Amino acid sequence: MTQQKIPVGILGATGVVGQRFIQMLESHPWFEVAWLAASDRSAGQQYGEAVRWRLKTPVPERVRQMPVSNASPDGAPRVIFAALDAGIARELEPQFAAAGCAVVSNSSAFRMHENVPLVVPEVNAEHVALIENQCWRKQSGGYIVTNPNCSAIGLVVALAPLHRKFGIDSIFVTTMQAISGAGYPGVAALDILGNVIPYIAKEEEKMEEETRKLLGRLNAGHVEPAVFSMTAHCNRVAVEDGHTESVSVKLQRKATAEEIIAAFNDFRSTPQQLKLPLAPEQPVMYDDAPDRPQPRFDLDRGNGMTVSVGRLRPCGVLDYKFTVLSHNTIRGAAGAALLNAELLKVQGYLS
């Protein structure tokens, strides 16, 4: 291990998001995988034996031979990426925070907790300050920081420039979500092949409440949720990676289509200013083609960190409608947490 890099651990290392963490960390300039934990079933095995690797690039050779530890803070490094089911996260993440770890979590367990920052660095980097409210922070220095649900993040990144420039009054969104969002084994092939499932448990609720917190304002050490009306319809479709969303919005101030497209394309924020390693040059890219963005073709923009938008046109109920596409396991999960960790490092929260 090179001395310069910060050793990090991964909780839930064998899952779909855990695998993405490993893949994305392999070439990361600041962080290095030093510790892997998974369920008791896997603990004690070599990672290469324990994992059912589902990515197109192979398991990094060094990681393949690393042991899988129990999911306990003993021996864990001080920076932990967590990719756990909510129920397990609710139990484990506080243990790691109490032990002094920076827990950079992709799980939903604490996203809506009033003292836990729910952060997308392009959107609300300042919310990181909530960390100081956490009891763990005060006692051991540890804390929990979270990123949103994979369906909320693409929406919020696309809405952020509109929210800043024009204000948001109402949001209507219908998602068509990829199967990888359900983890592995996740969705049964018999359920989704040639089918649409118009339901994902708790997804609509998460999208609505997380969007309000993310676009909310930090005031006197607390987040005031943004105020707008919003509704989400969440569907699962037979796509491997990439959540597509049909969105309508009403803005608080009038804007022309040209102004909106410019707002999308010109949007730059904290990660771009700080030149964070994973920050895409352009967080939102508007595609002029009449039939884009599409998961098959447009998912890898900005190495999976750019959110694609297209088809801006007037909406007969709200003001405008458009299509949003984001990579659900990169921008919407592992990449989201990594970008949060990069932000935390620059802000001095990892030392």
Three-class SS of 247-304: EEEEECCCCCHHHHHHHHHHCCCHHHHCCCCCCCCCCEEEECCCCCCCHHHHCCHHHH
Please state, in angstroms and rounded to a whole number, the distance separating the CA atoms of residues 168 and 155.
13
Residue type, 250: K
Least Å distance between CB 219 and a second copy? 24
- Map tokens 């447009």 to a residue: 298
94 binds a second copy (CB under 8 A): no
224 binds a second copy (CB under 8 A): no
Please state, in angstroms and rounded to a whole number, the distance separating the CA atoms of residues 66 and 57.
18
Select the residue interacting with a second copy from 8, 10, 13, 16 (CB under 8 A): 16
292 binds a second copy (CB under 8 A): yes
Cα radius of gyration rounded to whole Å, the chain? 19
Judging by DSSP bridges, how do beta strands 196-197 and 243-251 pair with one another?
A: unpaired
191 binds a second copy (CB under 8 A): yes
Least Å distance between CB 107 and a second copy? 20
Report the residue number, 92 or 230, with the smaller CB distance to a second copy: 230
231 binds a second copy (CB under 8 A): yes
180 binds a second copy (CB under 8 A): yes
45 binds a second copy (CB under 8 A): no
Least Å distance between CB 319 and a second copy? 10
Report the residue number, 176 or 307, with the smaller CB distance to a second copy: 176
**C-alpha 242 chain-centroid distance:** 13
Please state, in angstroms and rounded to a whole number, the distance separating the CA atoms of residues 212 and 206.
10
Select the residue interacting with a second copy from 39, 95, 140, 246 (CB under 8 A): 246
Least Å distance between CB 85 and a second copy? 16
248 binds a second copy (CB under 8 A): yes
Report the residue number, 40 or 288, with the smaller CB distance to a second copy: 288
Residues labelled as active-site residues: 150, 243
Query: Which helix H or strand E contains 345, and what residues bound it?
Result: helix 335-346
- Scored b (16 or more CB within 10 A) or e, 91-122 reads ebbbbbbebbbbbbbbbbbbbbeebbbbbbbb
Interface contacts to a second copy, rule CB under 8 A: 16, 54-56, 170-172, 174, 176, 179-180, 184-199, 208, 229-233, 235, 237-240, 244, 246, 248, 290-297, 299-300, 310-311, 315-318, 321, 323
